[in-house]
Structure 1
Amino acid sequence: MTSSDPRPTGAVIIRADQVTKTFTTPDGRALPVLEDIGCQLVEGEIVALLGKSGSGKSTLLRCMAGLIAPSAGTVDYRGTPLTGANPGVSMVFQSFALLPWLTVQQNVELGLTARGVPEDERRERALKAIDLIGLDGFESAYPKELSGGMRQRVGFARAIVVEPDALLMDEPFSALDVLTAENLRTELVGLWEGHEAPVKSILIVTHNIEEAVLLADRILVLSANPGRIQAELRVDLPRPRNRQDPRLEALVDTVYGILTGREAAVAAAVTAPGAPTRPAPTPVSAPLPEVSVGGLAGLLEILVARGGEDGLAELADELNFEVDDLLPLVDAAVLLGLAATDGPRIRLTAAGREFAAADILTSKQLFARHAATRAPLVRAIVQALSSTDDQRLREGFFLDVLRRGFDAVEARRQLDTAIDWGRYAELFDYDADDGVLTLEPGAQKNL
């Protein structure tokens, strides 16, 4: 199912060699997003770029599309280094990216118009693509008249009508409801297997483990902050793939184990007695998972009810979630020392059992201790507030510090999560009107 050399034999369409990408924050600091990425896309394969938020998946996709240039390294299209937009690719976006004032047919014809294709040929090719993706009869409709799934079909038609070498897709199903997404995935596989789609390869960005395993011939797993290729796996399973196939379930478990390895390492560095001295985790190296305390408590209570240990795939199936929907909750539990993972399984620690069994007041006290000692950003906020005369600081101070390691959106998300955790634990308060954080009495005793 996996191999040490997963690269298929075929003509290389796109090759990334030692690609590094660093953005500059508004205050002039460097924000590394990708580091030393090497990968390729060859004819006859579907490749999935899989990783959590912050792994640089979309940035790598845009580098390979030639929409942004790497800070170091090169991207080649059929052996020629890119100096602009990649002439051999089309893109499908998460947000559909349709022009609302154009009809379905006009949106599909956009790429052909840009390439100077004559009007009659444009019309013929556009209608063929519209028919292929199941929107025959909607040629004259406007995007506002279409459902989300139909709009994404227009996006697919617009991408394939130019007959690109490679179809690049940036989380194309994540904005759709579950049933619509499943239907479109199935149809995409059908077009690919039937050789009806006029493309030679597909590269899809996703954070959904099961989606990657269902679709891809190869999976590139990216770590985060900055993004690096953590693993490369070959999926040697016939299509269409069965979710209940033990081989598919085993590969999902393998990928899950890879994605959770970093959080386990962080927890080990903080908690293992007698462990060798390692760099202390920081708010950037150990970011807070975007989960609420209530959601975290719910996961722990479910684990208690299931004997304190379970497989993530089994747990997700029982709750009607995707496995990766649970990942942020698992990451938070591991970061706080309330649970531990062993490959695809999760088990409560003694601290987790204590927290799950506690009354509300005691659970707040326990959470305060765990958050202040094991969540680097929460600890940093408590320490910073403790160092001021009035034990107050504006949120802008923390956002400025966080922007050294995150973009503005993620910095805000990190601070919001920390505020949620800190207020629950009564470590600090937050005035949303003034944007001021204030240390709560007695918070320092938890450090």
Structure 2
Amino acid sequence: MTTTPDRPGNGDPIISATHVTKSFTSPDGNVLPVLDSVSFTLHEGEIVALLGKSGSGKSTLLRCAAGLIAPSSGSVSYRGTPLNGANPGVSMVFQSFALLPWLTVQQNVELGLQAQGVAEADRRSRALKAIDLIGLDGFEGAYPKELSGGMRQRVGFARALVVEPDALFMDEPFSALDVLTAENLRNELVGLWEGNEAPVKSVLIVTHNIEEAVLLADRILVLSSNPGRIKAELTVDLPRPRDRRAPVFEALVDTVYGILTGREQDHADALTGTPTGGAARPLATPISAPLPQVSPGGLSGLLEILAARGGEDGMPELADELNFEVDDLLPLVDAAVLLDLARTAGPRIALTQAGNEFANADILTSKQLFARHAVAHAPLVRAIVQALTRTGDHVLREGLFLDLLHRGFSDEDARRQLDTAIDWGRYGELFEYDKGEGRLELAPEAVGVL
């Protein structure tokens, strides 16, 4: 990339994470792994993006590096000194703005300086300078409720920059904004960075927007999910400002899509128990192969779009046309691959024969096909149908399955997994669900599916 003399691309290490592992313990004592032995270094003069799907632990990793939570094992150091609390060289910008509504813009920006014991006159001078820098001059006395979402996030940037941190951490800072506002703020951030106007030496940003990562970062760390591990590290050697239409930019976006969707062989291996070039693996379980959180209607929509495009298309093109980000499109892709209705190859997705049949079927036939593929390829749906089949009255309480899921998921994620399975099972007429009673009952149509 092109850098200024004041920002060497491989400057001194600011933050180093070494084999960071983080697990949380559920109320029933089960250990839930979020990060597994993650190591990286943030240097002076670079912007690094942490990119991954939901469940990759990228926000947890950011908080470990900020010293807001401690790793279960491994360590984080700031300029060579291990952290034992909040990282003194870091300021953060959050997705939710995190402004105090009873304070004015200027008072919100002064908070960090006040915590550092900076004198009132100096606080005022530095806060006004930061407010001017991020384009909110004239709104110093306004309250957050008077501001648009983009203006509130500008206050968040000013509050983070005013303390002149070594590292600016950003946790999906643009995802709560509309497309145009987000694009404007990204461009302004790049302008401040390239012009050496931003009083920071490095930036670490969490995102699930692939183009955003390629647009902003010098390095991209792609995390896998459940638990989070660094799956790939990419260098973005492009001058700024970057042209989204440039072939090399588009090639990098394609590469990232390919990395993020490179699990289809893992899914197939787990289901057949025979990995390519290796020993047999255990069959997939509801814990090892979680359900993507998508609705059958959303999945059907994706398959119908692909069928209308001749059965194949590039994921970046689909995402761009539908205005989807990673967490919008990739769960649908994962579900299609899991159910053997589609295959991915790099950044492209294509219908399988079964997927083409599903996309072109009438409603009744498509429901029957969905039921068959859900039982065959979705472990949690299969487990529910098998358990209901083996009971005398074909009825079970949902608590049985929640207890099973708590072995590998938090309470919230276990609930989401079961809700997704219920949605899929009801759509395929495999079982019925009484929410008031928390009861599942095998549907007559399920007979013969197993």
TM-score range normalised by the length of the shorter chain: over 0.9
Is 2:364 the partner of 1:361?
yes
Taking structure 1 as reference, are residues 173 and 34 closer, same or farther at Cα in structure 2, changes over 3 Å only? same
CA distance in 1, matches of 2:272, 2:312: 20
Aligned to 1:161: 162
The answer to which of 388-397 and 411-420 deviates more is 388-397
Aligned to 1:349: 352
Deviation at 1:382, TM superposition (A): 1.3
- Give the percent of matched residue pairs that are identical in Structure 1 and Structure 2: 78
CA distance in 1, matches of 2:35, 2:363: 43
What are the Cα deviations for residues 72-111 of structure 1, in whole angstroms up to 9, with x where unaligned?
1110000000000000000111111111111111111111
Taking structure 1 as reference, are residues 331 and 272 closer, same or farther at Cα in structure 2, changes over 3 Å only? same
What are the Cα deviations for residues 141-174 of structure 1, in whole angstroms up to 9, with x where unaligned?
1111111111111111110100000001111111
Aligned to 2:38: 37
2:318 paired residue among 298, 315, 323 = 315
| 8 Å contact kept, 1:312–1:323 | no
| 8 Å contact kept, 2:258–2:346 | yes
TM-score, normalised to structure 2's length?
0.95
What are the Cα deviations for residues 404-424 of structure 1, in whole angstroms up to 9, with x where unaligned?
212222222222211111100
Aligned to 2:412: 409
| 8 Å contact kept, 1:382–1:444 | no
Deviation at 1:397, TM superposition (A): 2.6
1:285 paired residue among 270, 279, 288 = 288
SS of the aligned residue for 1:241 comes to: coil
Gaps of 5+ in 2: 2-7
Aligned to 1:58: 59
CA distance in 2, matches of 1:403, 1:181: 37
Taking structure 1 as reference, are residues 414 and 274 closer, same or farther at Cα in structure 2, changes over 3 Å only? closer
CA distance in 2, matches of 1:121, 1:55: 41
Deviation at 1:18, TM superposition (A): 0.8
| 8 Å contact kept, 2:385–2:430 | yes
Deviation at 1:312, TM superposition (A): 1.3
| 8 Å contact kept, 2:54–2:327 | no
CA distance in 1, matches of 2:224, 2:447: 34
Aligned to 1:384: 387
Is 2:300 the partner of 1:302?
no
CA distance in 1, matches of 2:23, 2:448: 39
| 8 Å contact kept, 2:275–2:281 | no
CA distance in 1, matches of 2:148, 2:401: 41
Deviation at 1:359, TM superposition (A): 1.2
Is 2:83 the partner of 1:82?
yes
Taking structure 1 as reference, are residues 312 and 77 closer, same or farther at Cα in structure 2, changes over 3 Å only? same
What are the Cα deviations for residues 34-61 of structure 1, in whole angstroms up to 9, with x where unaligned?
1111101010000000011111101100
Aligned to 2:336: 333
Aligned to 1:220: 221
| 8 Å contact kept, 1:264–1:334 | no
CA distance in 1, matches of 2:102, 2:403: 40
Aligned to 1:253: 254
TM-score, normalised to structure 1's length?
0.95
Deviation at 1:444, TM superposition (A): 4.8
Gaps of 5+ in 1: 2-6
Aligned to 1:193: 194
What are the Cα deviations for residues 376-404 of structure 1, in whole angstroms up to 9, with x where unaligned?
11111212222333322222332232222
Aligned to 2:177: 176
SS of the aligned residue for 2:261 comes to: helix
- Amino acid aligned to 1:281: A
The answer to which of 267-276 and 254-263 deviates more is 267-276
State the Cα RMSD in Å. Answer: 1.7
Deviation at 1:430, TM superposition (A): 1.3
Taking structure 1 as reference, are residues 62 and 330 closer, same or farther at Cα in structure 2, changes over 3 Å only? same
Deviation at 1:333, TM superposition (A): 0.6
Taking structure 1 as reference, are residues 400 and 89 closer, same or farther at Cα in structure 2, changes over 3 Å only? same
| 8 Å contact kept, 2:10–2:46 | no
Aligned to 1:115: 116
- Amino acid aligned to 2:162: V
CA distance in 1, matches of 2:262, 2:401: 28
| 8 Å contact kept, 2:291–2:420 | yes
- Kindly report which structure 2 residues correspond to 1:412-427, keeping only aligned pairs within 5 A, or say none: 412-427=415-430
Q: How many residues align?
A: 442
Aligned to 1:398: 401
CA distance in 1, matches of 2:38, 2:325: 28
Deviation at 1:324, TM superposition (A): 5.5
Deviation at 1:317, TM superposition (A): 3.1
| 8 Å contact kept, 1:264–1:341 | no
Deviation at 1:316, TM superposition (A): 2.7
| 8 Å contact kept, 1:16–1:38 | yes
